[in-house]
Amino acid sequence: MEEYGTIKIHLAELIEQAGISKNKLSHRAEMQRSQINNYCNNKISRLDIDVLSRLCTVLGCEIGDLLEFVPAEEKPE
């Protein structure tokens, strides 16, 4: 799938910028801490728009702050 590029999740950086702990985020966003860790470590294969909405609401950010599209590198012919 990486031939099309990938989505990078910037949750760890946003948590640090907000000065909030993962425990507090998990409580406020009504998510399990293990789920937050998976988002922080980019170990998510399918994005959940409800989860993304919760994270943006709690962190006061836009979806573009949380997600970044990284295009695939072009292969030489």
Domains in the chain: ranges and CATH: 2-70 (1.10.260.40)
This prediction's pTM: 0.85
pLDDT tens-digit map of 4-24: 899 999 999 999 999 999 999
Tokens matching residue 27:
């409580």
- In the predicted model, is pLDDT for residue 75 greater than 80? no
Q: Which residues pair with 70 in a beta bridge?
A: 6
Q: Which residues pair with 8 in a beta bridge?
A: 68
* Residue 65 vs residues 8, 31, 39, 61, 76: alpha-carbon distances, Å: 11, 19, 14, 6, 32
